[in-house]
Amino acid sequence: MNFIENGSVTTPKGFLASGVHCGIRKNQTKKDLALIFAEVPCTAAAVYTKNLVKGAPLKVTKDHLANGIARAVICNSGNANTCNADGEEKAEMTCDALTKALNISAEDIIIGSTGVIGQPINIDAIIGGIPELVESLSKNGTPAAEGIMTTDLVKKEYAVEFELGGKKVSIGAIAKGSGMINPNMATMLSFITTDVKISAEMLNEALHMAVEDTYNMICIDGDTSTNDMVSIMASGLAENTEITEKNADFDLFVKALVMVTAQIAKSIAKDGEGATKLLRVIVSNCKSVEFARTIALSVVSSSLVKAAMFGSDANWGRVLCAIGYAGCDVDITKIDVSFKSKAGEIPVCENGAGIPFSEEIAKEILLCDEIDILVNMNDGYQRAIAYGCDLTYDYVKINGDYRT
C-alpha cells in the first residue's frame, strides 16, 4: 500500500476531472468550478456537516444520494450558496444543466459550494461555464483540486494504490480546507473516488469509519462550516470480488481509505489560515478511544496551546489545562507530556507535575514547522491523533476582511 506520485481523483479507473474559471470569483486567474465525472454508474456515499445551518447543495446532494448511486460531482468556490431563499432552486438548476451536458440523470449528481455565506450565487456564470468544464474533462485531476480552493494556499490531492483480492486497486481524493474547520463532520469539502467494487452500504460504513479517525480529528479555529461534506464514488472497475460485508477485504479497504484521509487531514491542518506550524496531538495509553479522541481534540483546539506553539513557548501547563476541561474521567496525576519535532524530543511533565527541562532545547524543538504534542495517559491501551495548527496574527488578518 503506497501513495502514488501526482495521484488524484482521476487515478482510479473510470474517472475524469476538470476545473475552470467561470466568473464567480473576481480573480480570473483562479479556477472557481470543478467537475469529477464517472464513466460508469458508481455506488456512492457522503457525510455532511452537523451545523444546523446547511448549504443548499448539501440538501440537494442528500436527496440525490438516497439511492446510493452517483455519476458526477460539481462544485464551485467563491460562494457558499447558503442562507439564500433560492439556493436549492439554483443548485437544482446547476444539476439540470450538467445533466444535459453529460447525458446523465440529475439525481446522480453530487453538488457542493464553498465561499461566502448569504450572498446570491451567480447561476448564469455556473451554467455558462459548464460547456468548457465538460469539454476539458481529462485524466488530470489537478484542475479540479484547484477549482474548489478558497483561502487554501496549496492544493490537496492524493491517491494510494494497493492489492485487493489479487486485483490492483486505488483510492484518490481532492479536498479544500484552510479555515472554518472544526470537527463534527464534515470539516471541509472532500471528494473521493475509488475503482474498488463495493456495495453502497459497505462504502457508507467505510467512509464513516475513516471520517471518525481523520477528518473529524481536525481543528483549525473552532468553527464548524455550513457547507462542508465528504463524498465518495466507487466505480467497481478494478473488478475485485464485490465487498458486501465486513471481511478482510473490507478491513484492507478501510485501512487504505484512512491512509488517504489522514494525509488530507494533515494537509488541511498544515494549511490552516495564517498557520506557520502543523500540530499533532498524540494521546496514548488511554482507557478508551472516545476519551483519547476527546482529549486530543481538546488540546489541539485550545487557543492558548495554539498561541504558545506560535511563540515556541513550552507552556505545558496549557496542555494539562485543556485535558482538565475535556470532560473525561481521567487521573491527572498519571499524565506525562512531551514536545517533539525533527529537532528532537523533550519531556516537560511527568505524573501531572512539572519536571526540570532546558528552555533553550525546548525552544529549538518548538521552532520547527511540524510539532507533536505527546500525551501519555498511562491509564489504558487506546490512542488517538488530532490535527491542528498554531494561532497567528495572520489568522485575524485573513478573517477580518474575508467577505470584503
d(CA 176, CA 272): 11
Q: What is the pLDDT of residues 217-227, one digit of tens each?
A: 887 655 555 66
**Which residues, 6+ apart, have CB-to-CB distance to 52 below 8 Å?**
none
Q: How far is CA 114 from the centre of its chain?
A: 13
- 244 in the same domain as 313: no
Range of the domain at 295: 278-400
- 285 in the same domain as 257: no
- 196 in the same domain as 102: yes
Domain boundary among 222, 250, 270: 270
In the predicted model, is pLDDT for residue 180 greater than 50? no
- 369 in the same domain as 261: no
Averaged pLDDT, 90-103 = 96
- 360 in the same domain as 287: yes
- 183 in the same domain as 35: yes
* Residue 156: closest CA among 268, 287, 236, 54: 268
* Residue 300: closest CA among 270, 342, 332, 274: 270
Q: How many domains would you assign to the chain? A: 2
The CATH number that applies at residue 304 is 3.10.20.340
In the predicted model, is pLDDT for residue 55 greater than 90? no
- 125 in the same domain as 38: yes
In the predicted model, is pLDDT for residue 402 greater than 70? no
- 366 in the same domain as 303: yes
- The answer to whether the Cα torsion of 65, 173, 32, 136 is positive or negative is negative
Which pTM does this prediction carry? 0.84
User: Could you tell me the pLDDT band of residue 403, with boundaries at 50, 70 and 90?
Assistant: low
* C-alpha R_g of the chain: 22
Say whether 187 is catalytic: yes
**Which residues, 6+ apart, have CB-to-CB distance to 58 below 8 Å?**
48, 49, 112, 227, 229
The CATH number that applies at residue 120 is 3.60.70.12
Q: What is the pLDDT of residues 108-127, one digit of tens each?
A: 999 999 888 888 899 999 99
d(CA 246, CA 8): 27
Of all residues in the chain, what percent carry a pLDDT higher than 70? 93
Pairing verdict, β 167-176 and 189-194? antiparallel
- 260 in the same domain as 168: yes
- 233 in the same domain as 305: no
Question: Any idea of the CA torsion for 225, 226, 230, 231, to the nearest 10 degrees?
Answer: -170
In the predicted model, is pLDDT for residue 201 greater than 50? yes
Q: Which residue's C-alpha cell is 517533539?
A: 340
- Run of H or E including 115: strand 109-116
- 297 in the same domain as 260: no
Among 187, 193, 194, 261, which one carries the catalytic annotation?
A: 187
- 157 in the same domain as 121: yes
d(CA 319, CA 165): 45
Domain boundary among 270, 297, 316: 270
Domain boundary among 270, 305, 334: 270
Residue 135 has a pLDDT of 97
